[in-house]
A and B are shown apart, each in its own frame.
Chain A
Amino acid sequence: MSEKMIYAMSTKESLSIDHFNEIFRMLYMPVNVDTEESVYNIDPRPYFIRLLDSLGYCEFDFDRRMVHMCPPGLALLPSYGLPRAVLTGMRSPRLVRNLKISVRKRREKALLSFLSQGNRVINMPPSICIEAADNQILQEIANELKIDFYKEGPASWRLANFSSSIDEVKRSLVFEKRDEPGWKRRVFMKTMLFFSKKEEESEEGQTLVEYTNPIDKQLRHWLWNGAESAEVERDWGRYLSLADSGLNILLYDRKLCRMAVPITVPLPCILARTIVMCSGIAPALARTPLKRLGDIPPGCHVQIYSGVTSAIASLISEKLGQKLILISFKMIKW
Chain B
Amino acid sequence: MNYLEWNDNIAKHFFNEEKSGREVPLYVNNEIINKLGEKTGDDVNDFINAIKEGPAWASSRGICQKALKTYENWRASGLYYPPYIAYLAFFVLAGGSEGPFAPHAYYPRFWKLLQEPEHSKQPPSFDRMIELWDDLEKWSSEDKREELGRFVRRIRGSWWKVGLPLSQTLLSEEERKHLPNLFAEADLDSTDTPSPDIVPRILQCYGQGILERRTLRLLDSKKPEDIILKEALVALVLDELEEWDGTVLKELIEKGRYISQVQATLRMCLHLDDVSQVISSYLRFKTGRIFPEEGLNFEENASTNVWSCKEICQGWSTPLKDYQTSPPTVLDASRIDWNKGLELIDNENHWRAKIKGVTTRLFILGKREGLPDWIETQRLERRTKFIIACQGDDIEKVKHWGADSSERFEKRSYEGVPSGWVIFYGKNAMKSCDDIDILSVSTSTRLLLRGGIKTGSGNIYLKYAPPKIVLENSSGDEQVTMNGVVLKKLGETPVWELPDDSPTNETLHVEVKTKDCKLHRIIRLEEPELPLSFTEIPCRDSNGMICEKKGKASFTCGASVDSSDEGASKPYPQKLPTHLSSRILFIGQRPGEIADWPRESLPSKWDPVWALAKKGRKRWEAYFCGAPERARREYFPGEPVSDKAKVKRWKEALWIRRKVIKKPRLEQILRIWMKYLETAKNV
List the interface of chain A (C-beta within 8 A of B).
3-4, 7-8, 10-14, 18, 21, 23, 25-30, 33-34, 36-37, 43, 45-46, 56-59, 61, 63, 68, 70-73, 75, 78-83, 86, 88-95, 107-111, 131-135, 148, 150, 152-155, 157-159, 161-164, 168-169, 172, 184, 215, 217, 233, 235-236, 255-258, 268-270, 273, 277, 306-307, 309-311, 330
- If A154-B572, A256-B579 touch, whether A270 touches B540 (CB-CB below 8 Å) is yes
Quick one: closest B residue to A57, CB to CB? B558
Most central of B313, B556, B582 by chain A CB within 10 Å = B556
**Please, which residues of chain B bring their CB within 8 A of the CB of A46?**
293
- How many Å lie between the Cα of A154 and that of B539 in the bound state? 19
Q: If the complex has contacts A68-B536, A152-B569, are A73 and B531 also in contact, measured as CB distance less than 8 A?
A: no
Determine if A92 and B530 form an interchain contact, defined as CB atoms under 8 angstroms apart.
yes
Interface pair B290/A21, CB less than 8 Å apart: yes
- Nearest-neighbour CB distance to chain A for B602, whole angstroms, equals 12
Interface flag for B338 (CB, 8 Å): no
Cβ contact of B573, chosen from A88, A94, A311, cutoff 8 A: A311
CA distance A72 to B532 in the complex (A): 12
Complex Cα distance A6/B560, Å? 19
Which residue from chain A places its CB closest to the CB of B574 in the assembled complex? A80
Q: Which of B371, B561, B579, B628 contacts A33 (CB 8 A)?
A: B371
Q: Which 8 A-B pairs have the closest CB atoms?
A: A257-B579, A70-B558, A269-B544, A68-B538, A75-B559, A56-B558, A56-B559, A81-B625
Q: Does residue B318 face the partner (Cβ distance < 8 Å to A)?
A: yes
| Contacting residues of chain B (350-397) with chain A, CB-CB under 8 angstroms | 370-372
- Give the complex CA separation of A236 and B559 in angstroms: 20
Residues in A neighbouring B572, C-beta threshold 8 A: 78, 153-154, 157, 311
Instruction: Using known A-B contacts A111-B666, A133-B668, A150-B560, determine if residue A306 contacts B528 with beta carbons closer than 8 Å.
Output: no
CB <8 Å contact, B631 and A73: no
Q: Is the contact region of chain B dominated by helix, strand, or loop, or is it mixed?
A: loop
| Given A8-B453, A94-B527, A270-B542, A158 and B568 contact (CB-CB distance below 8 Å) | yes
A270–B544 contact, CB under 8 A? yes
Known: A92-B530, A93-B527, A184-B348. A26 touches B314 (CB 8 A): yes
Set of chain A residues within 8 Å of B500, measured between Cβ atoms: none
List the B residue with the shortest CB-CB distance to A279: B579
B628 pairs with A59, CB closer than 8 A: no
Q: Are A110 and B666 in contact (CB under 8 A)?
A: yes
Residue of B nearest to A63 (CB): B546
Q: Which of B420-470 contact A (CB under 8 A)?
A: 451-453, 455-456, 462, 464-465
Inter-chain contact B669/A133, CB cutoff 8 Å: yes
State whether B536 touches A13 (Cβ < 8 A).
yes
A230 to chain B, nearest CB (A): 14
Asked whether B315 lies within 8 Å of A25 as measured between CB atoms, the reply is yes
Interface string of B576-605 (1 = CB under 8 A from A): 111100100000000000000010000000
CA distance A146 to B172 in the complex (A): 52
Q: How far is the CA of A172 from the CA of B545 in the complex (A)?
A: 13
Cβ of B223 within 8 Å of any chain A Cβ, yes or no, is: no
- Cβ-defined partner of A8 (8 Å) among B462, B576, B582: B462
Instruction: Indicate whether A153 sits within 8 Å of B571 (C-beta atoms), given known contacts A4-B462, A184-B348, A269-B544.
Output: yes
Contact with A along B57-78 (1 / 0, CB 8 A): 0000000000000000000000
Assess whether A155 is in contact with B628, with CB atoms less than 8 Å apart.
Answer: no
Distance in Å: Cβ of B655 to nearest Cβ of chain A = 22
> Chain B, 546-557, contact with A by CB distance < 8 Å: what is the 0/1 string?
100000001011
Partner of A73, one of B370, B453, B456, B560: B560
Q: Which residues of chain B are within 8 angstroms of A135 by Cβ–Cβ distance?
A: 628
| B538 x A70 contact (CB < 8 A) | yes
Interface pair B540/A95, CB less than 8 Å apart: no
B560 touches A148 (CB 8 A): yes
- Point out the residues of chain B lying under 8 angstroms from A111, CB to CB: 665-666
Decide if B530 touches A81 in the complex (CB within 8 Å).
no
**Contact at B666–A269, with CB atoms within 8 Å?**
no
| B601-630 to A contact mask, C-beta < 8 Å, 1/0 | 000000000010000000000011110110
> Which residue from chain B places its CB closest to the CB of A23 in the assembled complex?
B453
B576 touches A73 (CB 8 A): no
A132, B527: Cα distance in complex, Å: 30
| Bound: A311/B315 CA distance, A | 44
Instruction: Check A28 against B666 for contact (C-beta < 8 Å).
Output: no
Query: Is B563 touching A162 in the complex (CB atoms < 8 A)?
Result: yes
Residues in chain A near residue B38, CB distance under 8 A: none
Could you tell me the distance between the alpha carbons of A157 and B572 in the complex, rounded to whole angstroms? 7
Question: Are A61 and B546 in contact, CB atoms less than 8 angstroms apart?
Answer: yes
Expressed in whole angstroms, the Cα–Cα distance for A36 and B529 within the complex equals 36
- Residue in contact with A70 in the complex, picked from B453, B529, B557, B567, CB distance below 8 Å: B557
Given contacts A25-B314, A81-B626, contact A255 B598 (CB under 8 A): yes
Given the complex of chains A and B, what is the CA–CA distance between A157 and B665 in angstroms? 27
- Decide if A268 touches B568 in the complex (CB within 8 Å): no
Taken together as a complex, chains A and B put the C-alpha atoms of A81 and B621 apart, in Å, by 15
Instruction: Name the distance in Å between B670's Cβ and chain A's nearest Cβ.
Output: 9
Q: What is the 8 Å Cβ interface bit string for chain B, positions 102-139, against chain A (1 contact, 0 not)?
A: 00000000000000000000000000000000000000
Given contacts A7-B464, A8-B453, contact A233 B544 (CB under 8 A): yes
B518 contacts partner chain A, Cβ-Cβ < 8 Å: no
Nearest chain A CB to B72's CB is how many angstroms away? 36
Question: Are B560 and A75 touching (Cβ within 8 A)?
Answer: yes
